[in-house]
A and B are shown apart, each in its own frame.
Chain A
Amino acid sequence: MAYLAAHPLLAVVVPAALGLVVMAGGRRAVRALKWIAVAGPLATALVGIAWLGGDRAAAAVQADWLAQGGAVMTAGVALDALSAVMLVVVGLVSACVVVFSIGYMAEEDGQARYFSVISLFVGAMALLVTATSLVTLFVAWEVMGACSYLLIGFWYRKPSAADAAMKAFLVTRIGDVGLLFGLALLWRETGTLVIADVLAAAPALGAGVVTAAAALLFAGAVGKSAQFPLHVWLPDAMEGPTPVSALIHAATMVAAGVFLIARMWGLFEVAETVRVAIAAIGAVTALFSAMVAITQTDIKKVLAYSTISQLGFMFVALGAGVWQAALFHLVTHAAFKALLFLGSGSVIHATHTQDVREMGGLARRMPVTAATWCAGALALAGVPPLAGFFSKDAVLHAALGHMPLAGWALALASVLTALYATRVTLLVFFGEPRHDGAPHESPLVMTLPLVALGIGAAGLGAAAGPLAVLWGGEAGLDATVAAISVVASALGIGAGVALYRRGPALDTRLAEKLGGTYAFIAEAYRIDALYDRAVARPVRALARWLADRLDRRGLDRAVEGLPSLAERAGRLVASLQTGETDLYVALMAIGLVALIGVALWMGV
């Protein structure tokens, strides 16, 4: 164990190397190798556990990655209280997801691709959380994005999946460019990209620089963590295999934006203006996507909007200045949302549909899935004593204390959260069956990860104390906030039970009664359509115009006019009519003469 704690790079290298092995092994070997692939995330988790388990040697691996003429950009990894906890969370959730995938993906083509990219992803995420330099962090950040692209587009024959993969990469890249220039700005102002050095220099930077740098880094977080207005890629990303949604698009990668801000806290701490913006965007996102989640009929879309909303909770906590609360919620959310996604995978596996209107009554047929799902849903709804209650309490406490407006928005969002969690649970697992066929419980390889995550979703509230010791900050409940939180959950659950006890009929009635408004919310306020009209189409039109008109017919024709003019003159002079080759010969002759002239002049 001491060896693991002293070699943080193992957390990155083991899963990445296993990914390469699986890829090299190809189609046949993957049957055996996918079991070995579980070792990758386990190694990642073990490195974190080894460090937490007592051997807290500050082992860092540093190297000059980009260096020339005395200027150096360093790359490096190291363990600290933040990265070690993240490694454990990432490793354990990933291990659950990989095991689940062995069952879930058993019948699919392309498993070697699947398991190798997942392993690479785990390596990249481990690199992100252990990075000691912003360059390293950015590398990991983007590699995760590429893995996400490859996995969303896993079924690339399907046009919607291919579109979704591209959209995810492009929308997040808009944020990434912000992050990139944030790094450039910090590089210019501090001359280093080593995180500790940047943070040490941050308080001495001018207010304008701090605000700009923090805002640019936050832009990256907005893209990666699917916050308004760059949230549009995440619902589409549900085109990927469900375990991928659980791992990348719920538990780990999308939380990287939250992690980034926590990691760069020394900068954000002094960037007060930006923190107000973070809280505002978080609150808006949390509230508006919780509303959308209520209207969705696709089980994965419910969870996708729920993820966007929960990430919004975390950003409000960051904006309020309590990064420990945001990270605590990140940890519990990783457990219960991965659980919910894998649970939905189990359901989809059994029923071959994602439409909650075609489910119902599954609790009797799939008891393990149903029981673990309920643990996850109750945690999401914030019911004590499950994990989500404690972490949401911490978030609410931070928000109500420092930014009351955002705090009350979150309280309202909590009601909506409990409502949609209740709705989807009732529609899927209770009431009368609305499906044909005889769905049955998933095999052990799929239910075991559900149970493991279920334990996390139920019990992680107990982590509050140890985490507070590790990260500083306060643990323990505030009675007023806890009361608000419980009332919010009770309201939401009560409303959910009252409204959806009898199945999905209410959706139809609401849609009829509210008409356009309901459709407007169900289509996520038609932001996609807006972007299509305002951005995608103009860009396409501009590119075509530039290519056809300006470059080919304008610039190119103008330039081509010159030599043809010269050519005509040349032909006239030489009275030669045989075509281009002659001009070439003539020019060669000129060149030769020029050369000889130089040579003579030089006296060579």
Chain B
Amino acid sequence: MFVVALPVLVPLAGLALVVLLGRDDARARVLSVIATLATIAASVVLLLEWRGSDGILAWVAEGPSAVPVARLAADGLALPLVLLTALLGFVAVLASWTVTSRVRTHYALLLALQAAVTTVFLADDLVLFYVAWEAVLIPMFFLIGGWGHERRRHAAMKFFLYTFAGSALMLVGLLLIIFWGGGTTDLGAEVEALPTHVQTAVFWLLAAGMLVKLPVIGVHTWLPDAHTEAPTAGSVMLAGVLLKMGGYGLMRVAVPYAPQAFADAAWVLAVLGVGGIVYGAFLAFGQTDIKRLVAYSSVAHMGFVVLAIATGTALGYGAAMLGMVSHGLVAGLLFFLVGALYERTRTREMARLRGLVAAVPRWGGVFVFATLASLGLPGLSGFPGEFLTLAEAFSRWGGWIAVAGVGVVMAAVYGLAAVRRIGHGADAPEAACRDLTGREWLAAAVLGLPIVALGVAPGLVLSATERAFSALAAIGGGF
């Protein structure tokens, strides 16, 4: 089905148009809007096609003499993330409206990024998966380094080296899979189970790349710098989509190819997850820069995702997917809001921001909404994933999972403390700025409505992932 390739090809086509036709800034913007809207449409078409299928839609591009050059496939594990990427791609374009330098290049890089990430999610071939995985780094590196804040060079370099080091190890793991699997690079291929010691090596090599990407604690220190220094669109894509590559990779490659090693390693992942939940929340509370606060909150939320995956149950995998989609929407919205604020006040220091709910009520209202979503309020998208994660993890490991409860309380502490510090209180002189514009309202609505929809009906995601995760849980051996 060619339709599988559309979410990748449409942004690429848009990229070509922007490069060729985007002579002035306005035209580059409009072309990017059209391209990202068309990507959303393509993703929805793919979803609708997929619903009529038997669970997997595949597409193979054949080169000369019928050699397959690219294999793509869409299933329940990929589709929610493909849709998320399409939505955030559009928001990232809206968030870049105020970029004034090298506008054409900026949008071209965003579209390239979108195509690359979507390829990661749709790749049905280990080599293509790896190539796309690395290809993501390039546009992101230039976006941070070229359009970021004061310490952008440093942050871009750090981001690149960190994740590159991780994915170098991942590459070795992928090579081991190909070698032991009899040479096939087909991601869905039925291969003989790898010997146990090979599984262990494969799992940890793959996990090295994916856990850095996610990130888990210990290898998270690239994240605050990269998120904070990146331009708004970069932060939105980085937090919203790029982190999900880690969770996706674990469930797509690491667990199915090394189920035994995964089962042995599950408790380590669980410890890392709980650690991230607590540590990330404390770190977020200790920040004075609002953007860094949001960045650290991502560490905590990804802790939930790792913990959910570690449970190895269908419900746990579902919780991980809910957590990833929700975090994509919520962190995307928060970075968008913080970016809009920075454009107006030229500061991210919470000490210099006060009384924003009174000064800019629309911005303030959406900020409070996003904060409540971020702290996992039921009715909004964060809750179902977190709740399921804790219930499943508690079922598997028992009492010590309660340590994560500290993180649940701290999530409310850092979120509401941020609202208290910059949102509430009397008006401050710095706050004399414009409220959200129509364009910004649109971006907030594009993210806000799914946040409510998923909070009320998490089945929207879970019904899509049902088949994929039932199968995955069965591979995992069931606990």
Contact = CB atoms under 8 A, between A and B. Distances in A.
Contacts of B390: 180-181, 184
Interface residues on A, range: 35 or more
B408 A180 contact: yes
Interface string B409-425: 11011001101100111
A143 to B, nearest CB: 5
Contacts, number: 186
A68 B416 CA distance: 33
B262 interface: no
Contacts of A551: 221, 283
A67 B462 contact: yes
Given A181-B390, A547-B285, A584-B157, 4 more contacts: A66-B459, A67-B459, A69-B469, A174-B409
Contacts of B458: 65-66
A143 B416 contact: no
B423 A156 contact: yes
Given A142-B378, A543-B282, A584 B409 contact: no
A556 B221 CA distance: 6
A143 B377 contact: yes
Contacts of B462: 66-68
Given A177-B409, A181-B394, A543-B286, A64 B221 contact: no
Contacts of B131: 595
Contacts of B232: none
Nearest to B364: A156
A166 B314 contact: no
A560 B225 CA distance: 12
A237 to B, nearest CB: 14
Interface of A: 64-71, 73, 135, 138-140, 142-143, 146, 149-150, 153, 156-157, 159, 162-163, 165-166, 169-170, 173-174, 177-178, 180-181, 183-185, 187-188, 539-540, 542-548, 551, 555-556, 559-560, 563, 566, 580, 583-584, 587-588, 591, 594-595, 598-599, 602, 604
B169 to A, nearest CB: 12
B416 A169 contact: yes
B134 A547 contact: no
A143 B379 contact: yes
B173 interface: no
B178 A602 contact: yes
Nearest to B185: A602
Nearest to B355: A157
Nearest to B467: A69
Interface residues of B, number: 77
Contacts of A556: 221
Contact of B318 (A66, A170, A598): A66
Contacts of B113: none
B424 A187 contact: no
A157 B377 contact: no
A159 B318 contact: no
A255 B241 CA distance: 42
B315 A69 contact: yes
Nearest to A193: B391
A604 B391 contact: no
Contact of A68 (B138, B317, B417): B317
A546 B286 contact: yes
Contacts of A559: 162, 219, 221
Nearest to B317: A68
Contacts of B408: 173, 177, 180
B388 interface: yes
A64 B459 contact: yes
Interface string B301-344: 00000000000011101100000000000000000000000000
B412 to A, nearest CB: 5
B185 A546 contact: no
B424 A185 contact: no
A156 B356 CA distance: 10
* 4 A-B pairs closest in CB distance: A69-B314, A547-B286, A162-B424, A543-B286
A591 B164 contact: yes
B459 A580 contact: no
Contacts of A180: 387, 390, 405, 408
B445 interface: no
A139 B378 contact: yes
Nearest to B171: A594
A143 B378 contact: yes
Which of A149, A153, A184, A540 has the most chain B CB atoms inside 10 A of its CB?
A184
A146 B164 contact: no
Contacts of A143: 377-379
Contacts of A178: 405
B372 interface: yes
Given A180-B405, A602-B127, A583 B67 contact: no
A109 B420 CA distance: 20
A135 B412 contact: no
Nearest to B417: A166
B158 A560 contact: yes
B244 interface: no
Which of A69, A173, A580, A584 has the most chain B CB atoms inside 10 A of its CB?
A69
A77 B315 CA distance: 23
A169 B375 CA distance: 11
B177 to A, nearest CB: 12
A548 B286 contact: yes
B362 to A, nearest CB: 11
B392 to A, nearest CB: 8
A547 B287 contact: yes
Given A142-B377, A184-B390, A70 B164 contact: no
A68 B470 contact: yes
A236 B160 CA distance: 49
A5 B85 CA distance: 44
Contact of A166 (B395, B420, B426): B420
Contacts of B183: 602
A405 B135 CA distance: 72
Contacts of A604: 67, 69, 127
B57 interface: no
Which of A65, A68, A173, A542 has the most chain B CB atoms inside 10 A of its CB?
A68
Nearest to A184: B394
A205 B141 CA distance: 56
Nearest to B183: A602
B407 to A, nearest CB: 10
B357 interface: yes
Contacts of B473: 69
A190 to B, nearest CB: 11
Nearest to A185: B394
B424 A146 contact: no
